[in-house]
Amino acid sequence: MASTLTPSEEAQLGQTIEMFEVITQSQPQDYQSLEILKEAYSKLNRESDVINTSKRIAQAYVQMGQLSSAILEYETILQRFPDDPDVQAALQQIETKANNFPMEPLPAEPAPQAKAQPSPGGRTNKVAARDPQAEIDDGRRRICIVLDVPTLNARPPHALAMARRRSMDTGFIGVTRNEILRQYREVEDELRAAEKHKNFIVVDPKDILCRSGSCTFEADGKSLYFDDNHLSMTGARFVAPVLERCFDASSSDAAR
């Protein structure tokens, strides 16, 4: 993965690592910062650092009592390194700790569903089956395909707060327009091809988010994302203009 990064992108990831190593050393239970750090190491193909950070994330979950999350993180490591002694020992400790937890009673089983009653004519009432494919292809409905938003290098709400607290530049969070278009090209080219059919419309939030050379992730001091690849309510309002074609199509369908 690192070979596809530009020098500028590698420098931004290096800045991300430098900042979040400082944060996580002083706040070892800050799993969100650890996740950002893990992602940055992954993009630079630094596998040993990815594994070590993954172990730190699992340890943070254990300290917070989130044992199921810790187990999932450790099992992710074992998928790549099944004989890792540290992980095996940590899972054994979690199992011991879990066995000492008081057992909660199992929830009552739900009541059995009532069987469909026959109609007076002796036939059982059934809901008619629907064929979604036929509904799409019937030529009467307009289908709006909304393409994906950029996946950022970090989760903006948390990363922005940490960067501002330390008076650091927030550029490490964002991605370039070229990087995102390259990342999504294969899938999105196929989706855009659907627009040749008259009942399909394709709209792209990146047309607003990535107007310049880089993709924006905040506006008026507010984050447009609530994690690294999902828009917040502020972000949804920000990209609303590009979605108007979808609603225009719905209105025209309703008028028919």
**Cα-based distances in Å from 158 to 22, 31, 135, 198:** 15, 11, 42, 43
Cα–Cα distance for residue pair 70/78, rounded to 1 Å: 13
Output 157-165 pairs: Cβ under 8 A, ≥24 positions apart.
157/223, 157/225, 157/226, 157/227, 157/232, 158/32, 158/33, 158/36, 159/36, 160/218, 160/223, 162/19, 162/20, 162/23, 162/33, 163/19
For the domain bounded by 2-99, which CATH number is listed? 1.25.40.10
For residue 28, give the nearest of 53, 45, 3, 2 by alpha carbon.
53
pLDDT tens per residue across all 256 residues of the chain = 445 788 888 888 888 898 889 888 888 888 888 988 998 899 899 999 999 999 999 999 998 888 888 888 999 899 899 999 999 999 988 888 766 655 445 455 555 555 545 544 444 444 444 544 455 555 567 788 899 999 888 877 778 877 777 777 788 888 888 888 888 888 888 888 877 776 788 899 999 999 888 899 998 888 899 888 889 889 999 999 998 888 775 555 555 5
Domain-wise residue ranges, the chain = 2-99, 133-255
Going 6 to 81 to 25 to 39, the CA torsion angle's sign is positive
Beta bridge partners of 201: 144
Cα–Cα distance for residue pair 61/254, rounded to 1 Å: 50
Q: Which helix (H) or strand (E) holds 114?
A: none
Residue with tokens 């008028």: 255
* Cβ neighbours of residue 85 closer than 8 Å, sequence gap 6 or more: none
Q: What are phi and psi of 16, to 5 degrees?
A: -60, -45
Q: Which helix (H) or strand (E) holds 146?
A: strand 143-146
Estimate to the nearest angstrom the gap between the alpha carbon of 57 and the chain centroid: 18
User: Tell me, what DSSP letter sits at residue 32?
Assistant: H
pTM above 0.85, yes or no: no
Torsion region of 167: left, alpha or beta (phi above 0 gives left; psi -120 to 50 gives alpha): left
**What pLDDT score was predicted for residue 99?**
66
Question: What is the number of residues in the chain?
Answer: 256
**What pLDDT score was predicted for residue 111?**
57
